[in-house]
Amino acid sequence: MPVRLVPFLFVLLWSSAFIASKTGLRDLSPLLFVAIRLVLCAAVLCLAMALRRQSWRPLAGWKWFHCAIAGTLLHAVALMPPHAAMLLVPAAHIALVQSLTPLLTAALGVAILHEPLQPRQYLGLLLGVGGVALVVGPAALASATQLEGVGLAFIGVVGLVTGTLYYRQFCRNIPPLPGAAGQFLGSAAVSCLAAWAFETPVAHWTGSAIVSMAWNTVVVSLAGMGLYAFMLSRGSAARVSANFYLVPGTAALLSWVAFGERLAPLAVAGLVVASVGCCLVTLRGTPSAAPPPRPGRRS
């Protein structure tokens, strides 16, 4: 698969998680849903390590700890609050809140990782935030319940942003399979503790719940986050996270196909503005032409 198609595939897989989660949460409580998903991911990766006879030595020293921290932020913290928020606000609004990821990632990336941004990228980030505000702002002000849902979704954004920067700083050079196994083992342990401490678990194993769990485990968590790690290993945190601006529009389109949900004109305008912002951040600038050689001195 051409490398240039990886971001679009990631956006499609990540957006599909909102549809699958909305279906699964009809039968499973949110924290339990995420905990089981992460435990299954950890089990699959440990099995893959055994079948491929991969060594755990790349996680020696403190590398296992770094992977566990990155995984807890990227998976447990980034997923559990938004899943709880899906019981309070529409999934499309949560996807829009997650579009704030690029702005926070870029700001912290400049401050912590010293990743430079061009003026058009700053403009793109501001457009992305404006697009999100067009939709999420009125919804958050509509009721206390929706405000709480937006707040939970924002906690997920903080987890995703800090996990992205932590991964890029400490885990970037760890081989993919051991690194992913370490991440999911850490996040699975934290999510199980959170599910035990903060909710009364509910589970009705219907056919739709099983399909939803399988999809989010294999396609979104394993394949989708694998693509995200691949992109982080090849590009800046700001450029990679800017793909989240495309998630709300894709999630809204999938919701329309799957559930017949329609968006208001203001929401459509917000999605268009956010998508333009994504293009400004992610498109590579044209290299400037080399200056003509200076004529040599005549002797």
Q: Which domain holds residue 72?
A: 3-282
Query: 91: Cβ–Cβ under 8 A, 6 or more apart, which residues?
Result: 18, 19, 21, 22, 251, 255
DSSP state of 54: -
Q: Is 289 among the domain residues?
A: no
Q: Is the model's pLDDT at 50 over the cut of 60?
A: yes
Q: Is the model's pLDDT at 85 over the cut of 70?
A: yes
When divided into structural domains, the chain yields a total of 1
- Give the integer Cα–Cα distance in Å for 46 and 27: 28
126 SS3 class = helix
Q: Is 291 among the domain residues?
A: no
Q: Is 296 among the domain residues?
A: no
Q: Is 98 among the domain residues?
A: yes
Pick from 29-33, 83-87, 104-108, 156-160: least confident: 104-108
Q: Is 30 among the domain residues?
A: yes
Q: Is 241 among the domain residues?
A: yes
Left if phi > 0, otherwise alpha if psi is -120 to 50, otherwise beta: which for 114? Answer: left
Q: How confident is the model at residue 284 (pLDDT cuts 50, 70, 90)?
A: low
Q: Is 294 among the domain residues?
A: no
Residue 90: what pLDDT? Answer: 75
